[in-house]
Amino acid sequence: MKTITRRDFVAMSALTASAFMAGGCITAAAKKRPQIAAQLYSIYKIFWKEPEKCLAQLKAGGYEGVEFAGYENHTAKDIRKLLADVGLKAAGTHVNGDIELVGDNLKRTLDFCAEAGIESVTTPHAKRDSADAYRAFGHAMGLAAEAAASYGIKVGVHSTYHHFTTKYGGVTAWDMIYSEASPLLQQQIDTANTFHTGENLVALLKKYRNRHHSIHLKENVPTVAGIFGERPTDGGPVVPWDEVFSYMATETGCEWYIVEAEGKPASLEPCLVNCRFLLDRLG
């Protein structure tokens, strides 16, 4: 039996993605909607004070999972049990990729996530000072994504304002990150961070079709509570939710819609209201 090299594996993955882009994706009618998760940073002032109570309320409100942003010294077994007890899944986690997804720490991070049952690892912010530095970062995160594939875990980068406002020769920092990255490296588009810069959300998602294991749903800024559909306080437009959902229904591989509402981190209400918003539109 021929041994499949890493180069072969990555090439086959790229061909699979290309096949989907060429029209091999399943139809919206046949595709189950992504599951809905809450980014726990949205309630960071209260979550770890009463995690069981908060998770139970999220579950009762319609959530199917959560995304972590730290563990407050809880073990992987603690995390798995905490979620299992209430019937939620671990959609993902945010970590500092410069530390947690390189060198010896990469295996430690992946082992933790595998034991905890966490599906994906995403690194936010990722600000650099040159095009070469962005390309190098993307390459390094791509290597992490390839390593994570053997665990069945996805690795991605979370979009931030500077990824679109910073350009080199007319090319955004975001495109620089993915220019030399493995095709396995996912994108976690933050709708607010992206839309607020003037980017066309759907056009961007189409550009990197089927590389979105999850997408961060957040209302355009600035807002008081981050309620979906509420106009920003500066009078700007709301995120074109229906356009985003219509397009995402055609993608394959998107497992999670992750709700982020950071304006009132001591209250569950924005997260619960936003979940109802999604369920009303998506079922």
Per residue in 31-47, pLDDT tens? 689 999 999 999 999 99
Q: Which candidate, 94, 57, 42, 38, places its Cα nearest to that of 265?
A: 42
Please report where in the chains the tokens 């095009």 appear, as a residue.
131
The CATH superfamily assigned to 30-282 is Divalent-metal-dependent TIM barrel enzymes (3.20.20.150)
The answer, yes or no, to whether residue 6 has pLDDT greater than 90, is no
pLDDT in tens, 208-227: 999 999 999 999 999 999 99
User: In this predicted model, what pLDDT tens digit does every residue of 120-158 receive, in sequence order?
Assistant: 999 999 999 999 999 999 999 999 999 999 999 999 999
Tokens of 282: 């998506």
pLDDT in tens, 58-102: 999 999 999 999 999 999 999 999 999 999 999 999 999 999 999
- Higher pLDDT: 262 or 23? It is 262
What are the domain boundaries of the chain? 30-282
What's the mean per-residue pLDDT of the chain? Answer: 91
**Contact at 8 Å (CB) between 43 and 17?**
no
Nearest to 218 by CA among 244, 187, 198: 244
Q: Give the β-pairing of 167-168 and 89-94.
A: unpaired
pTM for this predicted structure: 0.89
User: What is residue 17's predicted lDDT score, i.e. its pLDDT?
Assistant: 41
Report d(CA 76, CA 144) in Å as an integer: 20
| Burial class of residue 152 (count of CB atoms within 10 Å of its CB; 0-12, 13-18, 19+) | exposed
pLDDT recorded at residue 236: 94
Cross-strand partners of 214: 256
Identify whether 222 is preceded by a cis peptide bond (ω within 30 of 0). yes
